[in-house]
Chain A
Amino acid sequence: MLLLALGDAHIPDRAIDIPLKFKKLLSIPDKIAHVAILGNSTRSSEFLDFARLVSSNITIVRGELDNATIRDVTDEGSKAEVTLPVNAIIKQGQFKIGCCSGYNVVPKNDPLALLALARQLDVDILLWGGTHNVEAYTLEDKFFVNPGSCTGALTTDWPVTSTLAQPSSDKASLKETEKLGKEKEDPQPDTSDKDMEESEEKSTKTGQEEERELEEEDIEISEFDLTGSNVPSFCLLDIQGNTCTLYIYMYIDNEVKVDKVVYEK
């Protein structure tokens, strides 16, 4: 059984659409049994219609920019305002999968806070969003999955990988650090880090060479510098009995790259 986790589309406010290659990948009818939308994706009827085409089983949780209710087809088939829950739980195989958009988890994105929520919801897998950065790790035998933003939309939070951080404390070593009491399987590809390092290298080089006045045009700005987001991404969870195989899809340089992580209960 395949469960699609999508989040933070921010269409149309911050993005126009998900990458066409993602759409093509997902537009296979009857393949995906369930879609979980993890917030900030309900301001586009076009996007929701697309998600409904992927699967009629949709779970949507409320993100900070979603209205409290959305107009949706009710069980009776008529359109009505449906309240978006803050948390939802999907039961599948031997797993209970919790969904939350992450905007009411304090501190934001904190593994221990997420763990407390997973415990409160009594779930084995917690899907969360709001960070625009794809992540997956196991902690205390629970599986935590953030599918990132399916559009790579701008985030106003601290940039995922950043050259924006203030120049004074510039030596930002962005290597993923092991967090307290946390076994981390970080499936995130090296590419973003590499990109980062490269651009850092460039900037230091130009810094050394600099004699003449730099102009705006001389400064190369990558899309990531402006969005603060990671590449567009989403996750597919293949659930068979007590095994959950997670496929992470990322859109890097106009290509779709896939990573795989296996979690067993």
Chain B
Amino acid sequence: MSYSDSLDQAITTVKQQSILVQRSLAQRKLMDALRYSSIMLTELRNPKLLPKQYYELYIMIYDALTVLSNYLFENHPKKHHLADLYELVQYAGNVIPRLYLMITVGTTYLKCPDAPTNEILKDMLEMCRGVQNPIRGLFLRYYLSQRTKELLPENEVALNSQFIITNFIEMNKLWVRLQHQGPLREREQRTKERKELQILVGSQLVRLSQVIDDNLTMYKDQILPIILEQIVQCRDIVCQEYLFDIICQVFPDEFHLNTLDTLLETTLLLNTDISVNKLISTLVERLNGYLKRIEQQEITNQSKVDVFDVFWNYLNKLNEERPDLSISQMVSLIEIVLNLNLHWFPNNFENLNKVYELISTKCNDFDNNIPKETEFVFLNILTLQNFDFLDSNFYFKLVIECPAYSSLLSSQNSNLQTAAINKLLDVFITADNFVIDSKTQLESFLKLCEPLIKMKLKRALANESSPTNQSSNHPMDPFVVKNSTNVGQSGVSEEKQKISRENIDDLLSFDPNQEKLSKFIHILFNSVLKSTTFKKLESQVEILLIIKNWLYKGGKNITFTYPSVITNFWRLIRKASLFMNKIPKKKPYYENVIKQNFKYISRCTTEMFNICGAQSNDQVFKIILQTASLADQLEFGEIAYDFFSQAFTIFEECLTDSTTQFQELIYMAQILQRTRSLYKEDYYDSLIVRSTLHGSKLLKKQDQCRAVYLCSHLWWATEISSLGEEEGVTEDFFRDGKRVLECLQRSLRSADSIMDNVQSCELMVEILNRCLYYFIHGEEYETHVTVNYINGLIELIKTNLKSLKLGEEAQLSELRIDDNPRNVTKNTLVNGSDGNYVQIGDNNMNTTSTVLNPQSKLLRVSDLIQVPIQHFHRTCKYIVNQRDIDPRFETIVV
């Protein structure tokens, strides 16, 4: 008898023979049936069949043999005795058909109560040794296993497991041997085939698990050691990986919990080419799954084995015994254990610390030489971003209770650090529910942020490499300069201007990292304020200083971070002032606290000024003015005056562009106009005179003009409602109409002297509007802005507008100021408060204006002359309308 050449043919043969077997059995011709079976089984001798093909045939044959088996059982012992048949089939010519038939008969015999079970089982197992070809042997033994599945004697666990183990061991050997058959170049093909066959071997362990059920002692003492021994001894990668995985999957959780160390130990003995990570990961997943399962079943009395400890010991051992493992492998492995710990003991930060310590050590072993492709593992380890069940509280504790975490973080490259810290800060910024109880805790957080604090911003870095490093070479302390004599000041200024130009490109409007850090400063300080340890204002100040000093390390970055600190100083000052008012006995104490805080703010602004370079000057100037304003509100006149002086120093020392100067000066005027505590010692007077003087010395005439008419308000205090002041009721406003008028006159002179008659006219209209402001505000004897003066100004404007019109030859039509603007032109151009032109599109769609400076070539003269004309027109209309409310307006001639 021979097997078919092709699979199709073989299938046909099997089908035919299987029908013949059934037919013979129906006719009760057992011998024929056995003969047909034998022919059918011959197909399983084909050495050319691939595992899948072999399996296909096997399934068909299995079904046919089941029919045979059923017949044999039903007719025993009436027609035949199975013991005889067992002998009979031994005479089959070929070993494969013979053994399949023998197992079929033998296992049928097992169903009979009087059968010598043990002998049959033993004999079948023995006989199977006769097939040593891997594929054929594996299937034969699989057949044995399948046939005996329901028939192993009850209550004979030891015996049964012995039977299965023996079969398993032999199958495993066959399976491993398959690898080494055939030519070397077909190795990969072999491996592929083996993976297709693995389930046959694995199924034995499934059977084993079913047989031993919950017998832990037996598993632990007898079964597992044998299986592991087989796995270790075969030294085969495919086998070791697969079977380890199967062990983890098929045996109960409790078994693993109790044999963890053995399992882990085994991984150390395996082929070193095996990915230990994969094995450990499977095991950890299984254990984490167990945790979920018992949670679902709400089994509370489960004693938690200290799985971490076992894994921890293992890690250390692995670390010692496997120096060949790369940092990536090792760290991924540690990550797996981290995963385990986070699931099992999420609140055990001691464990976490150990883990991070180990990673640190490992990094040091590799000189912190972390391959690029491993960085994501580090990022995961540092952010734990895959564990969505961790809350902000966890991260809080991570930072304060795991020093190793922080030191690991700080040893990473800056990109990694930044990414990790950002992630952490995101958690903290959105959570805001933790309390910082000690300086040590605070320092932990500050240390965490250190990389962001010290981060070199790209453009700043580029500048640093340039030869002129201004900050160290030219300390620009405004207070030093202030006290020095005027000699050489212009020289310093020139130097500064040169530097400032170099630094213009240096400017970064914002940096996302610094923004985050800045936000975090508020969170950090608030969490300190929540603590009972820092209830006292004084201790809060101290904390803020600590924060400030850490941020100081950031160099130029303080331009981003100091404002947050200053904000908190302002808050502390307001708080102190509240305490001062409520606890009169301690007034001197709080006064001192407030003064100290103002000094700290001054320290901050000085540092910003000195370190950040020219780009921060405007910011520093504004912060100083705001601080001055606050000091004034709290009646610290001296301090307010000092801050105003500082602001002036910056204004005077830093020659910035005229636009910046103009807006700085206006802001100064706005703030000064609302001060109330500077009247002593003529502080106020000297400051406002100085402002106005600066205003009148601005580079551009139009800026001079606007600055001075705005400065007129410095002699005309208005109500501050939160002080309870009220126009018309409050009588002691600081007002000096004579000086107001002087300013307006001075301003008008500037306007008049401007050669550009469009600008000149526009400014005069603006001054007219100022005059009207004062006209509404008071009687002539108070404001000194008389009807005559206003009427004179209107006449002047009219004359100028006429000549303006005359100058414009294109428009010869009669100029009438009461023209409807829409008839004259599409009035799309106005003058903004800073002198730039604001132009709006003509269409009726949603549009936004564009800003054009007066020199812009886009401006047409015909449009330009309409600007003052229409502004004047609107002003006159306003005057006319006011007559209904205030009869004094009747006297103004328009």
List A residues at the B interface (Cβ < 8 Å). 1, 11-17, 33-34, 42-46, 57, 59, 64-65, 67-71, 81, 83, 85-92, 96, 100, 103-108, 110, 112-113, 116-117, 119-122, 140, 154, 156-167, 169, 171-174, 176-177, 179-181, 203, 206, 213-217, 219, 221, 225-228
Please indicate the chain B residues that have their CB under 8 angstroms from the CB of A44 in the complex: 510, 515
A46 touches B666 (CB 8 A): no
A110 to B670 CA separation, bound complex (whole angstroms): 11
| Contact among B560, B670, B875 with A107 in the assembled complex (CB-CB below 8 Å) | B670
A219 to B574 CA separation, bound complex (whole angstroms): 13
| Contact among A11, A42, A113 with B509 in the assembled complex (CB-CB below 8 Å) | A42
Chain A residue, CB-CB nearest to B584? A167
> Smallest distance from the beta carbon of A68 to chain B beta carbons, Å?
7
A64 touches B622 (CB 8 A): yes
Please indicate the chain A residues that have their CB under 8 angstroms from the CB of B518 in the complex: 12-13
Known: A45-B510, A69-B509, A213-B583. A121 touches B832 (CB 8 A): yes
A43 touches B510 (CB 8 A): yes
B515 touches A106 (CB 8 A): no
| Residue among B516, B716, B846, B848 with the highest chain A CB neighbour number at 10 A | B848
The DSSP consensus for interface residues of chain B is helix
Known: A90-B847, A154-B567, A181-B886. A214 touches B833 (CB 8 A): no
B844 touches A91 (CB 8 A): yes
Scan residues 572-598 of chain B and give those whose CB is less than 8 A from a CB of chain A.
574-575, 577-579, 581-583, 585
A122 touches B674 (CB 8 A): no
B847 touches A91 (CB 8 A): yes
| Contact among A16, A86, A165, A176 with B522 in the assembled complex (CB-CB below 8 Å) | A16
A57 to B660 CA separation, bound complex (whole angstroms): 27
A86 touches B836 (CB 8 A): yes
A116 touches B773 (CB 8 A): yes
Query: B841 near A: Cβ within 8 Å?
Result: yes
A68 touches B659 (CB 8 A): yes
> Smallest distance from the beta carbon of B424 to chain A beta carbons, Å?
16
| Contact among A15, A34, A70, A103 with B670 in the assembled complex (CB-CB below 8 Å) | A103
A28 to B727 CA separation, bound complex (whole angstroms): 44
> Smallest distance from the beta carbon of B422 to chain A beta carbons, Å?
12
Please indicate the chain A residues that have their CB under 8 angstroms from the CB of B582 in the complex: 203, 206, 214, 219
With A45-B512, A119-B769 known, 4 other A-B pairs at CB within 8 A are: A120-B769, A121-B830, A177-B719, A181-B776
Known: A91-B846, A122-B827, A158-B723. A164 touches B578 (CB 8 A): yes
Known: A68-B659, A112-B776, A221-B578. A13 touches B563 (CB 8 A): yes
Q: Mark B649-682, 1 if CB is under 8 A from A, else 0.
A: 0000000000110010011011001100000000
B578 touches A163 (CB 8 A): yes
Q: Mark B515-533, 1 if CB is under 8 A from A, else 0.
A: 1101100110000000000
Scan residues 450-493 of chain B and give those whose CB is less than 8 A from a CB of chain A.
none
A177 touches B726 (CB 8 A): yes
Query: B32 near A: Cβ within 8 Å?
Result: no
The DSSP consensus for interface residues of chain A is loop
How many B residues are at the interface, by size bracket?
35 or more
Query: B277 near A: Cβ within 8 Å?
Result: no
B666 touches A106 (CB 8 A): yes
> Smallest distance from the beta carbon of A236 to chain B beta carbons, Å?
15
A107 touches B674 (CB 8 A): yes
Please indicate the chain A residues that have their CB under 8 angstroms from the CB of B634 in the complex: 164, 166
B567 touches A89 (CB 8 A): no
A166 to B518 CA separation, bound complex (whole angstroms): 32
| Contact among A71, A87, A206, A225 with B834 in the assembled complex (CB-CB below 8 Å) | A87
Q: Could you list 24 A-B pairs, sorted by A, with CB under 8 Å?
A: A13-B566, A15-B522, A16-B429, A67-B618, A85-B836, A86-B834, A89-B848, A91-B846, A91-B847, A103-B666, A106-B673, A108-B673, A112-B773, A112-B776, A156-B627, A158-B720, A159-B722, A164-B577, A166-B635, A172-B723, A215-B583, A216-B536, A219-B579, A226-B571
Chain B residue, CB-CB nearest to A207? B582
Chain A residue, CB-CB nearest to B574? A226
Query: B400 near A: Cβ within 8 Å?
Result: no
Query: B770 near A: Cβ within 8 Å?
Result: yes
> Smallest distance from the beta carbon of A118 to chain B beta carbons, Å?
10
A171 to B507 CA separation, bound complex (whole angstroms): 48
A228 to B710 CA separation, bound complex (whole angstroms): 26
Query: B169 near A: Cβ within 8 Å?
Result: no
A219 to B618 CA separation, bound complex (whole angstroms): 38
| Residue among A45, A87, A107, A154 with the highest chain B CB neighbour number at 10 A | A107
Known: A46-B512, A107-B670. A65 touches B622 (CB 8 A): yes
| Contact among A65, A71, A108, A180 with B674 in the assembled complex (CB-CB below 8 Å) | A108
Chain A residue, CB-CB nearest to B831? A120
B838 touches A85 (CB 8 A): yes
Please indicate the chain A residues that have their CB under 8 angstroms from the CB of B416 in the complex: none
| Contact among A89, A156, A162 with B722 in the assembled complex (CB-CB below 8 Å) | A162
| Contact among A1, A104, A140 with B833 in the assembled complex (CB-CB below 8 Å) | A104
Q: Mark B594-622, 1 if CB is under 8 A from A, else 0.
A: 00000000000000000000000011001
A195 to B626 CA separation, bound complex (whole angstroms): 26
> Smallest distance from the beta carbon of A74 to chain B beta carbons, Å?
13
B626 touches A156 (CB 8 A): yes
Query: B251 near A: Cβ within 8 Å?
Result: no
B575 touches A221 (CB 8 A): yes
A104 touches B667 (CB 8 A): yes
Known: A45-B515, A57-B848. A174 touches B575 (CB 8 A): no
Query: B878 near A: Cβ within 8 Å?
Result: yes
Known: A11-B519, A68-B660, A71-B509. A57 touches B578 (CB 8 A): no
| Residue among B713, B723, B772, B844 with the highest chain A CB neighbour number at 10 A | B723
Please indicate the chain B residues that have their CB under 8 angstroms from the CB of A140 in the complex: 878, 881
> Smallest distance from the beta carbon of A242 to chain B beta carbons, Å?
13
Known: A214-B582, A219-B579. A86 touches B833 (CB 8 A): yes
Query: B412 near A: Cβ within 8 Å?
Result: no
Query: B38 near A: Cβ within 8 Å?
Result: no
A64 touches B667 (CB 8 A): yes
Chain B residue, CB-CB nearest to A108? B670
Please indicate the chain B residues that have their CB under 8 angstroms from the CB of A88 in the complex: 838, 848-849, 851
B718 touches A110 (CB 8 A): yes
A107 to B735 CA separation, bound complex (whole angstroms): 13
Please indicate the chain A residues that have their CB under 8 angstroms from the CB of B830 in the complex: 89, 120-122
B633 touches A164 (CB 8 A): yes
Please indicate the chain B residues that have their CB under 8 angstroms from the CB of A120 in the complex: 766, 769, 830-833, 871
Query: B887 near A: Cβ within 8 Å?
Result: no
Please indicate the chain B residues that have their CB under 8 angstroms from the CB of A100 in the complex: 833
Chain A residue, CB-CB nearest to B590? A216
Scan residues 413-441 of chain B and give those whose CB is less than 8 A from a CB of chain A.
429, 432
A104 touches B838 (CB 8 A): no
A110 to B669 CA separation, bound complex (whole angstroms): 14
| Contact among B510, B563, B674 with A158 in the assembled complex (CB-CB below 8 Å) | B674
Please indicate the chain B residues that have their CB under 8 angstroms from the CB of A226 in the complex: 571, 574-575
Please indicate the chain A residues that have their CB under 8 angstroms from the CB of B182 in the complex: none
Please indicate the chain B residues that have their CB under 8 angstroms from the CB of A106 in the complex: 666, 669-670, 673, 710, 713
| Residue among A167, A171, A177 with the highest chain B CB neighbour number at 10 A | A177
Please indicate the chain B residues that have their CB under 8 angstroms from the CB of A81 in the complex: 509
Please indicate the chain B residues that have their CB under 8 angstroms from the CB of A113 in the complex: 773
A92 to B843 CA separation, bound complex (whole angstroms): 10
Known: A13-B567, A59-B848, A158-B722. A85 touches B832 (CB 8 A): yes
> Smallest distance from the beta carbon of B801 to chain A beta carbons, Å?
16
| Contact among B670, B723, B727 with A169 in the assembled complex (CB-CB below 8 Å) | B723
> Smallest distance from the beta carbon of A27 to chain B beta carbons, Å?
16
A116 to B878 CA separation, bound complex (whole angstroms): 10
The 10 closest A-B pairs by CB, nearest first: A12-B518, A13-B563, A156-B626, A87-B832, A172-B724, A89-B849, A85-B851, A12-B519, A106-B710, A86-B834
A189 to B627 CA separation, bound complex (whole angstroms): 30
Query: B629 near A: Cβ within 8 Å?
Result: yes
B846 touches A1 (CB 8 A): yes
A169 touches B724 (CB 8 A): yes
A181 to B633 CA separation, bound complex (whole angstroms): 28
